[in-house]
């Protein structure tokens, strides 16, 4: 069993797939703390977790097929340490070396290259590593805050989350935040990985597995605006407080866009209520809002109602807003499906 040496996981994680491991953090835990603790942080692996001895760890940096340097863990720690808070499904602070610092001595001209590829130490049965890539303009932009992280919430990164080094590409789909980083390649081509070219792309709702052409859709980079209700949970019985129900959740948008407003309704959109409290990273600079926003609201409920459906939508700094229904955006991989989150709750007076 190639998964026999995977780490032990926290028992609260809702297991969507055991091998490779995919486990979700329960909703109510998400809004309990601004930084999600590492042991209950969402885990998404596509392959067995590699076993890496920090003494042997090496990161190779190449321009196309030409290896430019090989650095070890101590070399990476010598670069200035930089900390950012960013959401990759859950929210954590990550510390490490800036990608721009590590690449600086290569003197790369942005106009000569198109992509920066990342490869992991995790291998499929035929020996092909997990991989992904990002555009060169993003990789070389110091404001993109990309780091080669060695700490998560101030501690060494746990095995499941990329020990000892992972790429943190804030504002971008999780898939490009390559864990167990083995290699960085400056290239004119996107990563050849299946996860870059044959997965993590969006399609029109009627495209099916017979008609899909992965080569025609760009790889997902920045994520669309989204939000979710964490409490109450579906079907929960909620006691009214001064005629209102308390609702809490998170919201997030890709590309560093700040969440500016959260709208909620309990009457299918006839009347909307605005969340009064929004907590985000107060140190985030303009256009670099990588963390999620936790929000809370109290919604007035009609006296005759015993049951309501709460809907939430978030608005980001570009006034992007979530679409109303999943039907019109659904696609065969189920990705990017950022329609309103709806939760049915029972009301107790």
Shortest Cβ distance from residue 202 to ligand MTE (Å)?
A: 15
Q: Which is nearer to ligand MTE, 122 or 280 (CB)?
A: 122
30 alpha-carbon distance from chain centroid: 13
Shortest Cβ distance from residue 195 to Mo ion (Å)?
A: 9
Burial 65-95 (b: 16+ CB within 10 A, else e): eeeeeebebeebeebeebebbbbbbbbbbbb
Interface region with ligand MTE, contact rule CB under 6 A, candidates 71-79, 178-186, 272-280, 336-344: 178-186
Could you tell me which of 188, 192, 212, 187 has the C-alpha nearest to residue 202?
212
Q: Which position among 13, 29, 43, 134 is part of the footprint of ligand MTE (CB under 6 A)? A: 43
Q: For ligand MTE, what does the binding mask look like between residues 51 and 90, x meaning CB under 6 A?
A: -------------------------------------xx-
Cβ atoms of residues 160 and 7 within 8 Å: yes
| Continuous segment of H or E residues that includes residue 118 | strand 115-123
Shortest Cβ distance from residue 295 to ligand MTE (Å)?
A: 22
Phi-psi region of 282 (alpha: psi -120 to 50; beta: other; left: phi over 0): alpha
Q: For ligand MTE, what does the binding mask look like between residues 100 and 139, x meaning CB under 6 A?
A: --------------------x-x-------x---------
With H, G, I as helix, E, B as strand and everything else as coil, classify residue 108.
Answer: coil
Shortest Cβ distance from residue 45 to ligand MTE (Å)?
A: 5
| Continuous segment of H or E residues that includes residue 278 | strand 277-279
| Continuous segment of H or E residues that includes residue 60 | strand 58-63
What is the total count of residues that contact Mo ion (CB under 5 A)?
A: 3
Shortest Cβ distance from residue 331 to Mo ion (Å)?
A: 15
Decide if residue 178 touches ligand MTE (CB under 6 A). Answer: yes
Which residues sit at the interface with ligand MTE, rule CB under 6 A? 41-47, 88-89, 120, 122, 130, 161, 174-175, 177-180
């Amino acid at each position: 069993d190639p998964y026999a040496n995977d780490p032990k996981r926290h028992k609260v994680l809702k297991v969507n797939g055991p091998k490779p491991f995919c486990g979700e953090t329960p909703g109510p835990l998400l809004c309990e703390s601004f930084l999600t603790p590492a042991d209950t942080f969402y885990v998404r692996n596509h392959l067995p977790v590699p076993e890496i001895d920090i003494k042997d760890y090496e990161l190779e940096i190449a321009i196309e097929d030409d290896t430019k340097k090989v650095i070890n863990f101590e070399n990476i720690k010598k670069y200035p340490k930089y900390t950012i808070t960013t959401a990759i499904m859950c929210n954590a602070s990550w510390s490490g070396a800036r990608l721009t610092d590590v690449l600086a001595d290569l003197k790369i001209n942005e106009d000569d290259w198109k992509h920066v590829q990342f490869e992991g130490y995790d291998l499929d049965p035929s020996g092909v590593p997990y991989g992904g890539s990002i555009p060169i303009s993003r990789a070389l932009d110091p404001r993109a805050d990309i780091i080669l992280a060695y700490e998560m919430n101030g501690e060494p990164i746990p095995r499941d989350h990329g020990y000892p080094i992972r790429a943190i590409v804030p504002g971008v789909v999780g898939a490009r935040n390559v864990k167990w980083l083995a290699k960085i390649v400056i290239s004119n081509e996107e990563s050849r990985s299946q996860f870059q070219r044959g997965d993590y792309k969006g399609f029109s709702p009627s495209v099916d597995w017979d008609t899909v052409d992965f080569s025609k859709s760009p790889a997902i980079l920045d994520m669309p605006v989204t939000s979710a209700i964490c409490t109450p949970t579906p079907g929960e019985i909620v006691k009214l407080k001064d005629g209102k129900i308390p609702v809490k959740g998170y919201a997030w948008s890709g590309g560093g866009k700040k969440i500016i407003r959260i709208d909620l309704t309990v009457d299918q959109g006839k009347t909307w209520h605005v969340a009064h409290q929004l907590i985000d990273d107060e140190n985030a600079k303009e256009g670099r809002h990588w963390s999620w926003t936790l929000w809370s609201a109290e919604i007035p409920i009609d006296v005759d109602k015993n049951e309501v459906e709460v809907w939430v939508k978030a608005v980001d700094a570009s006034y992007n807003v979530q679409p109303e229904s999943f039907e019109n955006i659904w696609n065969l991989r189920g990705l990017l499906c950022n329609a309103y989150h709806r939760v049915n709750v029972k009301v107790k007076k």
